[in-house]
Structures are given as C-alpha cells and as structure tokens.
Amino acid sequence: MRTDTARTIRLKDYKKPDYTIKKTDLTIQIFENYTQVESTLHMHKNPEVVGFPVLQLNGIDQQIQQIQLDELVLTESDYQYEDELLTVQPGKDEFVFKSITHIKPNENTSLEGLYQSGTMICSQCEAEGFRKITFYLDRPDVMSVFTTRIEADAKQYPILLSNGNPVEQGELAGGRHFATWHDPFPKPSYLFAAVAGDLVRHDDVFVTQSGREVSLRIFAEAHNAHKTDFALDSLKRSMAWDEKRYGREYDLDIFMIVASDFFNMGAMENKGLNIFNSAAVLASPETSSDDRFDRIEAIVAHEYFHNWSGNRVTCRDWFQLTLKEGLTVYRDSQFTADTHNATVKRISDVDMLKAAQFSEDAGPNAHPIQPQEYVEINNFYTATVYEKGAEVIGMIHTILGEALFRQGTDLYFETFDGQAATTDDFIGCMEKVSGHDFTQFKRWYVQAGTPNVAVEESFDANAGQYKLTFTQSCRPTPNQPEKRPFVIPVKMALLSEQGKELPISCDGDFNSDTSVLLLKEATTVVTFSGLNAKPVASLFRDFSAPVTVDMALSDQDQMTLATKDSNAFNRTNALQSVFVEVIRKLNADIDSAIPESVDELIKATLGDGSLVDAVKAQMITLPSFAVLRTMFSPINAQALAFAREKLKRHIAVTFAEQWQQLANSLASAQPYEFNAAEAGRRALHGTAISYWVSSGQVEAINFAEALYRAAENQSDRLNGLQAVLSSDDQERSEKLLTHYYRQWKDDTQMVETWLALNAGQKSFDVAQANALMAHEAFDLTNPNKVRSVLGAFASNFEAFHAGEVGNYQFIAEQIVKLDQVNPQVAARFTKVLESWRVFTEDRGVPMKQALEMIVSTDGLSPDVSELAMNALK
C-alpha cells in the first residue's frame, strides 16, 4: 500500500484535527509469522467543526481483517484504504472506531513500527511509526490514554512490556500468556512502545523528592545482560538532578529501559518504557571507553529528561521538534557539565556543533531549527534541530540568567502540562517571567545559516577608550537569500596583558551581572572607557552564541588569550585558532614554516599546573578534519590532509621526550573508575601516546602495542590500539586487529568497535570496505554495523576524501542498496556527498556524479530522494 508520491508538509497549513481519540485500547497478539493488532479508539469530534468530515486515519502496510464503526462492521465499500490513509465516514460526535489488522514485524527492516530485533520484538514510533502498527491519527496533537494488552508465546517471549503501569498478567491456552499495561497520562502515538522478548531484568528503586517509590528496571537480551549497572546508576542520578535543578519529579510507579541491538537512532523516550540502542546503554569497563561511558550517561539522562520536556509537555506538530529536542539536549548538557567538568563538556559540545551543525548550515540541506516545510520528517532529526536548538535555549539562559530562566521553565511546565505546545508557548513563558521582549530573538527559530560576526577594535590612548565594532552577516541558505539581524549575546571580558579581568564600563547594551553584551543591529559599536592601556578582548566566552567570529588579533594578543584567558573555553579556542592558521598556511604551501608560537603554546599548556588533564588534552589535540573542513573553501582534501599531518608530526617530534614521559607517568595504576579526573588522565595519556607514536620512534609503537595487550579496560586498550593503527606499521596494525576480533568476537559492542576501527584506518579503501561488508560480523540490516563500516569510512577524511575518488561511487551504491532495507539510515549517508560544491573539482565532480547516480535510481524512498535532490539543486 506504500506509494512514493512525496508530499511537502508546511507549517503554515497546520490545522487542528477534526477528531480526537480520548481512549485507545490495543490488543497485540504476536504469532510466529505475523502479529494481529486489534485497536479500539474512543473518538470525539472537535466541537468547533461543523458537519461530519470524513475520518482519515494513517496506516502503512496494514492487512485489514476488520473495520468497525460502533457496532457496525464495515464492508469494503464502506471504507477506502489508499495512499497510506484509511477513510471512513462517521456520523456522530462520539463514536468507537475499531480495526483488526495484521502486520509483519519479522519482515520490517525499516525498524519503524513493530519490528524484530534479535530474539525480541520491539517498537519505534517517533516520528510516524505508529501508523505501521495500526490505523491511527498519527500526529502529536492527538493525545490519548492507552491501555495495551500483549499476548505471545510464554517461552519465546516471557517478558511483555508497554507504557505505564502493569495492571494484569496471566496464562492463556496453548502455552501463551498476556500482560496488560495502562498509561494514565494522555500521550501522542509517537510515545507508544511495546516489547516482547526473553530478557534479563536488572532492578533498582528510586525514591522521589516527595517520597514515592519508583521501580527501575533495565531489560537486555542474555548476551548483553552484564552491562546494565552503569545505565541504572546514570538513571538514578538523572532523576535526582532533574528534581533539584528543574523541580521535575517522575510520575509513574515504574520506569523501564530496554536495550535493543537493532535501532535506528540512539534511544527513544517512550513514556515509562524507553527503548535504547544497545550501544547507547550497555557499558562495562572491559568493553566501553570513557567516551562511551560519557555518551551513555548523557543519553540515559536525555531520554529521562524527555519525561517532562517532550512527554508531559509534548509538541503540537513536527515543526515544533526543537521545542522538545533543543530543550532536552540543553538539559542533558547541563547535567553532564554539573556531573563532571563544565569546561570539558562545553569544549566537546562546541566541537561537535562546529563539525556537524556548521556544515549542515553551510550546505544545500540547511534549515532553521524550526523548519517551515519538509517532505520526510525523519530527515529533520538533525544537528540543527537538536544541537543548534540547544544553543538557542542556552542563549535564552545566557540573556536572562539562572533565576529567571528557571522561573520560565517552571511556568512552561506548569502551564502546558498535558498539552501539545509550540516554541512560541515556550518563549511566551520566558517573556512573562522576565518582561524581556524576545520578538527579534525569535529569528533564531526561522532563519537558517551560521551568522558571522566581524569584530574590529581600536584604542584611543588619550581618551582611555577602547572601541569594538561588531558587524554581523549571514550567508544565504536555500529559500532564504537575505537574513535580518539576529540578537547575539556576547559574554565577554576585557583582559590586561597579564590576563587579569578589567572592570567594564561601556555605552553598549551590557549587563554587568551576567557580563553579557547584546548585539541587535547589523553593526554595533561599543565604546569602553576608563582604560589606561589597550585591553585584550575575550569575546563570546563559553561560546555564548552559535556564530563564527572574524577578528584580526595581534600575535601578542593571541598569545595572551591562548595562555592566560581565565575563561578556559576561550583559552582553548584561542589556542585552536593558532593551529587552524598554521594548517591554513601549510594547506596553501606545505613548505611554509611552522611558527615558533606553536612550540611555545604546547610548552606553556603542558607546563600549566592549573589546567586539568582533560582540558589539556583538548587544548593540544589538533582540530579534527570534521571541524577543519568547515573553515576551508574550497577544500583541497589531499592538501588539507598533508597540512594537518605535517603539523602533527612537528609537534610529535619537537616534544617527543615529553610525550614519552607522559605516556609513562599517566599510565593507569588503580582499577578502572569512570569519573572526570580519571577519564581526563586517560584522555591526556591517549593524546601523549598518539603524538609519541607519530614522532616515529620505535619505542613508542612498542609501548602502544604493549598497552593494548596489557589493558584491563577499553580506554587503555583503545589508547594503545588507535595509536598503532594511526602509524605506518600496517603489519602490526593488522596483527592487532586480528587479535582484537578473535578476543572479542562474541561481544556485540566490541565487534561494532572493531568494524569502526578497521574503517577508521588511514589506508582504508573500497576493496577493504567490500571485504568488511562480506565479513561474518557484518549485517546490512543492522544500523550499528552499517554505521560502524560506512559511517566510520565516510568520516575518515584521510581515507574517504583524500583517498581514491571511487569512494564516492561506492558510497552511492551502498546508499541505494541500503535504501531498500532501511530508508531512514540510508538517508543519513546521503549527507556525506552533499558538500560537493565546497571541494576542489577533483573531488567535487565525482561527488556530484555519485549524487546524480542516486537520484536517477528508480523507487527511491522519500527519505533519500529529498536529501539527494536538494543536494543537487
């Protein structure tokens, strides 16, 4: 019944639904080859609507057994099922719609709706997956109270779960059993979940601030069951944090997490029953690196926080996606910052924003955090909606300060509890509590593109006045040739040459409590007075706005910022800018000299006892290709790869002795513990080993191999292994990879990592990719495996872009093949090719040809065709 007529959905066409569903009763009967879904919907006509419009319910791949309106069983001539819509004609204000349909979870490789994941059956309904389970008004502004009964074979599926609280369970004839769940909180269908499986359960309890006991349960298949401790602990800490920081208490009697090996994204916040990608929840020191622990903790928190920002207050329509995602990403980043180290978190978040979101903003699929139209909503789960959305929330916080921001969120949660809200509703609350006018600020929601702020400075020694001129601009993005000025908060300080913060007195819109200067015009001139020497401006502290900044600084000022700025984020940023400029020069001329400032900065950073290890590691690590490529136009892939490599080798060789010393002194002594200090130590250890190996010393690579072999935790293991893999010693690399696989081939997460390590090698190519995809460990229907190979290859700049140009054709072929299996995942890979205009022709042309090949393929999903066609426009 699926047709490929892609339709454009527009925000301006939003209309309230004609009918709503007060109560939803489902009976899901799982059988060997199919599942029967019986759905009883208690429907009401919207009182504002005159007459009786036809009722159109969404439904995909539904094999109809019976359709019934109240007591009347409809015949085929009484309803119509085409274009994924079932149309019936009701004649009453209140009625019951009932359908019995069959679906096939075991044939559902899209992993949307109800599908088989290993030995279990599970669901994924956001954004529009529920329509693959049964006929429904599958839109977030239709909120209903769900009661769900699941029936299945008792041996094969001893665990049966759905949203809410358990109400009944029992045995049935023929070795079958059932469980009934009731969720008292009205919710949209995208938050529905059902799970059936043979799962191992890990229990705990959380007592809420008002003294209620909540049962916590994590479920996993037996092979994954030993890795749930950390997620459970993260969950409890998240629950406590949300009470303290946002006053948000959990509401049901039970909170469950299920780990699934087959999952399109990271995880899903279904009410009371979160379903997670195994890779985003299962952790153990033996198999998970610090980065993985970090990510798991953040995702557990993120999904939990959605219980309020997303579930209790949900979105009116999918154009409001950033309402729940931007806010929840912001909340989870605050949680991580509070739990570990705020500077470390900010540096890595901004890095990620630059890598993933700035590139999106600069490309043909650029969209504002609130897109105005879409063809396939799944294509809008982007870094823009999520991460830039979080930056926008962060700017509101920066502008209002902590107390007002918290009053605003309190008002928002109270006012819109149980409702489907809009981004305007959220801003309205912020305006109400503060009296601040956010009208102009709201441009951040509707204008795409990364604004650039050019800053010029001048100093009048006689008058003791320092003047800053800020000029903002934003390049055109699709359908938006011109932008109006944004409100840009500049958190700032003026520093003496010794890095001391000077008192600020100025004529700008400056708030001295928050140290925030607001820019509102295309050009803003601010004069600072009472200064007896030219200060050094530390602007956009903690990255106070998602913008790029151009400011020509003297070498001396640059050094002051990179060695003395009291804002560690800005200090890091200043140091990284020095690296970028050197790489820029080497990119233009590989023989250009590397300035001494690089050596001075590395030396000063390594020797600075005030910096924690984690920040030191972040400071001295060269900017990634993902970040660098957003700063170059055109990108000459090979020149860029050589340039970065040359700078790396220079630093490696110059400080070889220090790297060796750090490699030895930072080695792990005690058993693995995941905390900020320990993870920071291991991060710096890894950085030192990586540089040391890059210096070419044989002792270094021996050290790395020994570390790999002796490691008792995955972070140490990867610190050793990755250093070997980045060396030119191919033989040793292969030997270790073979050893790794042999050792860990029965561990799903370790195998995924192994695939990614292979595909992350500098010399990786199409032949190796084909071999890896033919390996027993690979499975095209498993998104994690696909991401581990194709994702890792495509983000391996040196192999993918600086390697053979045939890589582009290869990825295009894989996209087309994958599209038949899982359109949502396939579509994500088309983004790899969309930046073809930015590359020099040797790469740009074959990238474009690869896109053309995709677009000329028959039967493409709307997911892939929307992104690929836009990329060629």
Task: Please identify every residue annotated as catalytic.
Answer: 303
Distance CA 447, CA 361 (A): 10
Q: How far is the CB of 379 from ligand 0A1 (least distance, A)?
A: 10
Query: Judged by CB, which is closer to ligand 0A1: 332, or 798?
Result: 332
Structure tokens that stand for 385 in this block: 């909606």
Residue numbers 127-156 binding ligand 0A1 by CB under 6 A:
127
Helix axes 730-744, 698-710, angle to 10 degrees: 0
Query: Judged by CB, which is closer to Zn ion: 390, or 652?
Result: 390
Size of the site for ligand 0A1 (CB under 6 A): 15
Is 163 a binding residue for ligand 0A1 by CB under 6 A? The answer is: no
The count of other CB atoms within 10 Å of the CB of residue 284 is 19
Cβ-proximal residues to 135 (8 Å cutoff; 6+ apart), any chain = 39, 57, 58, 59, 62, 86, 97, 99, 101
Distance CA 137, CA 120 (A): 27
Strand-strand pairing, 213-221 and 254-260: parallel
What is the Cβ-side half-sphere exposure of residue 759, based on CA atoms within 13 angstroms? Answer: 28
Residue 761 interacts with, from Zn ion, ligand 0A1, none (CB under 5-8 Å by kind):
none
Is 17 a binding residue for ligand 0A1 by CB under 6 A? The answer is: no
Q: From the list 266, 401, 499, 508, which residue makes contact with ligand 0A1 (rule: CB under 6 A)?
A: 266
Peptide bond connecting 127 to the previous residue in cis, omega within 30 degrees of 0: yes
Q: From the list 69, 239, 265, 816, which residue makes contact with ligand 0A1 (rule: CB under 6 A)?
A: 265
Residue 268 interacts with, from ligand 0A1, Zn ion, none (CB under 5-8 Å by kind):
ligand 0A1
Q: How far is the CB of 370 from ligand 0A1 (least distance, A)?
A: 16
Query: Judged by CB, which is closer to ligand 0A1: 269, or 565?
Result: 269
Residue 391 interacts with, from Zn ion, ligand 0A1, none (CB under 5-8 Å by kind):
none
Coil vs helix vs strand at 694: helix
Is 122 a binding residue for ligand 0A1 by CB under 6 A? The answer is: no
Radius of gyration, CA atoms only, the chain: 28
Residue numbers 376-405 binding ligand 0A1 by CB under 6 A:
378, 381
Is 124 a binding residue for ligand 0A1 by CB under 6 A? The answer is: yes
Q: Which stretch binds ligand 0A1 (CB under 6 A): 237-245, 259-267, 353-361, 564-572?
A: 259-267
Residue 265 interacts with, from Zn ion, ligand 0A1, none (CB under 5-8 Å by kind):
ligand 0A1
Nearest alpha-carbon partner for 834 in 791, 793, 873: 873
Residue with tokens 């609350």: 429
Distance CA 833, CA 516 (A): 39
Residue with tokens 């969309």: 834
Is 267 a binding residue for ligand 0A1 by CB under 6 A? The answer is: yes
Interface residues toward Zn ion, by CB under 5 A: 325, 328
Burial of 858 by CB count in 10 Å (0-12 exposed, 13-18 middle, 19+ buried)? exposed
Structure tokens that stand for 67 in this block: 């359709």
Residue 381 interacts with, from Zn ion, ligand 0A1, none (CB under 5-8 Å by kind):
ligand 0A1
Is 499 a binding residue for ligand 0A1 by CB under 6 A? The answer is: no
Coil vs helix vs strand at 671: coil
Q: Which stretch binds ligand 0A1 (CB under 6 A): 18-26, 60-68, 229-237, 264-272?
A: 264-272
Q: How many helices (H) and strands (E) does the chain have?
A: 30, 34
Q: How far is the CB of 347 from ligand 0A1 (least distance, A)?
A: 23
Q: How far is the CB of 270 from Zn ion (least distance, A)?
A: 12
Nearest alpha-carbon partner for 138 in 83, 84, 82, 68: 84
Cβ-proximal residues to 108 (8 Å cutoff; 6+ apart), any chain = 114, 115, 116, 132
Q: From the list 269, 294, 332, 557, which residue makes contact with ligand 0A1 (rule: CB under 6 A)?
A: 269
Q: How far is the CB of 362 from Zn ion (least distance, A)?
A: 24
- Concatenating the DSSP letter of every residue in 317-343 gives SGGGHHHHHHHHHHHHHHHHHHHS-HH
Residue numbers 84-113 binding ligand 0A1 by CB under 6 A:
none
Residue numbers 431-470 binding ligand 0A1 by CB under 6 A:
none
Site string for ligand 0A1, 343-382 (x = CB under 6 A): -----------------------------------x--x-
Distance CA 846, CA 830 (A): 14
Is 325 a binding residue for ligand 0A1 by CB under 6 A? The answer is: yes
Residue numbers 294-313 binding ligand 0A1 by CB under 6 A:
302-303
Distance CA 616, CA 303 (A): 31
Distance CA 380, CA 377 (A): 5
Q: How far is the CB of 107 from ligand 0A1 (least distance, A)?
A: 19
User: What residue number has its CB nearest to ligand 0A1?
Assistant: 265
Binding site for ligand 0A1 (CB under 6 A): 124, 126-127, 264-269, 302-303, 325, 378, 381, 824
